[in-house]
Structure 1
């Protein structure tokens, strides 16, 4: 049986005070008939003044009676509590089983991406001129090669017409040179050769006559010498004229034709350049897409280096992701990817097309 300890704290300053009775049961071996030894319980019981228990300092006998009554009640509770309870069966936890199968382990890499269009062009004019008119607005779908805007080009058209006339004149000169039978320089050289031959023949006849007269003794030696000098000079002039004519006949014609052809090519180049300047005043779309920006208005000055409008091809979207190296090593070209918009719209599937090892200085990935 367990030991019952009681304690009564009574204030002695007044003849009638409230008290607290504390009963504690400590676990000790207790013999129960028919069941052997059982463990008792140590329990604390507090009787507060609100339950109507009062103690009087004048009558200690009444206090002992009350204490015995309280202890006997607690003892009955203790004996009931010491009775051994029946063990409850342990609950059975359900276990889900499945057959073992072979499969690949998927590594999912999640990161924020920035969307880019498939193609984007900031169309910049190649000439500085005022905008004559726009043929499209923001949001319009355009085709490849479609005319988007026109710049003022009257001065460019005039320059193109002038260069076209110069080109036509050069072609005419080339046809005249190539179709001529005897060029002027060759004709003049032939005339010079004929005159030099006549002078040479005259000098030879004079020399022959004077030598004959000198042999007959009718002419002085001095006149014969003068005739010989004149003949030598005439022969030198003839040889020079003949060589010049032969040179012109061999290469002069080809050179003249080449010179005329060069003039034609130069005139054609100037004409093509002016035509290109005229074409630069017509702004066309480099590919099919959507006009996303048009910052200028008709009449404003379009300058080289400043975008006139922006065209994007949004038929396909490219998502660019910067990730750490330990994550990028698991990503391969051809892997499936799922892109979920930030607004919660339906996800879009795609494939990895490029894995670049280059690092981003902004994100250090």
Structure 2
């Protein structure tokens, strides 16, 4: 009986142990089930995320492919940003004038007797331009010459006295006295020589000296006689006679000068650019007959802004482009900068002198004058077409820079000196970049571009030129 309770206790303990083991097993299965569920959920989430990533990647790739298919490649021309010397070109429209020009006018009023058609003809200094009618002047000149002769005769009559016979006798006596003195002096000198050698006596020498003294006295008497006769005339008569002679001579000289004016001659060598009158016309004194211009050397007078003229100096080189001869380019030199400013438009007149031996420049024609100022060395330079300015008068703009993958990117730049078809870049570029010169207008940033073959050849040619290589 005692063993039965013990067996029952063992059975109960075994049953309790069994129950505890089943609970533990149950708990382990539940834990495993939870872990399995968590793993399945985790794997499912990872698979879901992977599927989403793949779908997003495919979507983006499809969008990029669609974008590439809808964004065509743009063909452009490009140029390389280079460093070189640049100078600002200032221009103005000027007028061509001959360096030497003369308006030939008549100095007397008369009818044109001879005058050929001279316009556009080359004439030389001294050539006859016209001959004016001068018959009346010639008649007046002859009359004046006769009046001068009469005045001189009257003056001679007043000066020499009113009795010609007495005057002649006095003049003869004067001449005889002079001859006698000459002869007596010669005789005395010969006898003096003989006396010194002992050839004659002193008495004979004294006789010769007496004869010489008498001859000299006779000469003085004759001279005093002539002088007394001249002084005996009225001084007023002599003055009036001299005045009449002087007046007649001046009148004759004036007529000779007027006669010389009847032949009109060219004062300079040049081309007759204008002829106002022709043969047979009546010309008044001071009226222009022809205009002669020496166009072998010309001056282009151009008005520059006063701010620009301050940068110019005499001796600067200038380029002249005639408006009536497209493609013709000539070089000259600044020879004058006016010291006054036109108050109406604030401009200063600048003269550019240049040779025109070939006659390409016409007188009074228009020509564009270009002068280089503000020169800079080692400046970054790009073609003007590469820059899109924010405004026409602005110094800021954009360029399209092509990278190594042929994609164009917009770049802000600031420009400086402008010279013809190139401009200086003062900021925004470093040098060596490739910029779009044709096709850059309204080109979006990031656009794929294709460089044209012509642009490649031009860029290669410019590279050879800059490096000094021969083609």
Give the TM-score taking structure 1 as reference length: 0.52
Partner of 1:289: 270
- Equivalent residue number for residue 354 of structure 1: 336
Higher Rg: 1
Q: CA deviation at 1:363?
A: 4.8
Which residue in 2 is equivalent to 1:344?
A: 326
Counterpart pick for 1:277 among 246, 258, 261: 258
SS of the equivalent of 1:333 reads coil
Q: Matches of 1:352 and 1:251 in 2, distance apart?
A: 76
Q: CA RMSD in A?
A: 4.0
Bigger RCO of structures 1 and 2 (CA < 8 A, at least 6 apart) = 2
Displacement of 1:332 in angstroms is 1.4
Counting only pairs closer than 5 Å after superposition, residues 1-365 of structure 1 correspond to structure 2 as 77-78=55-56, 80-81=58-59, 106-178=87-159, 180=160, 256-342=237-323, 343-360=325-342, 363-365=345-347
**What does residue 215 of structure 1 align with?**
none
Deviation digits for residues 88-131 of structure 1 (CA, Å, limit 9, x no counterpart): xxxxxx98676xx9x8x745321111000112222221222111
* Residues 250 and 315 (structure 1), Cα distance of their counterparts in 2 relative to 1, 3 Å cut: same
Following TM superposition, by how much is the alpha carbon of 1:323 offset from its aligned partner in structure 2, in angstroms? 1.9
Q: 1:363 to 1:147 in 2, by over 3 A?
A: farther
Q: Unmatched 5+ residue regions in structure 2?
A: 1-44, 62-78, 167-228, 348-471
Per-residue deviation at 1:162?
0.9
Contact 1:136 1:148 in 2 (8 A): no
Deviations 1:158-199, CA, capped at 9 Å, x for gaps: 111111112222233344444x2x678xx9xxxxxxxxxxxx
CA spacing shift, 1:134–1:251, aligned 2, 3 Å = same
Contact 2:158 2:233 in 1 (8 A): no
Per the alignment, in what secondary structure is the counterpart of residue 253 of structure 2? helix
* Partner-residue secondary structure (3-state), 2:259: helix
Query: Partners of 1:332 and 1:317 in 2: how far apart?
Result: 19
Q: 1:267 to 1:361 in 2, by over 3 A?
A: farther
Change (3 A) 1:32 1:292: farther
TM-score (norm 2): 0.41
The verdict on how the C-alpha distance between 1:252 and 1:39 changes in structure 2, with shifts beyond 3 A counting, is farther
Q: Unaligned regions of 5+ residues in structure 1, if any?
A: 1-30, 41-75, 84-93, 188-247
Q: May I ask how many residue pairs the two structures share in their alignment?
A: 226
* Distance across 1 between alignment mates of 2:52 and 2:249: 122
- Tell me, yes or no, if the aligned pair for 2:306 and 2:341 is still in contact at 8 Å: no
Describe the shift of the 1:309–1:257 C-alpha distance in structure 2 as closer, same or farther (beyond 3 A): same
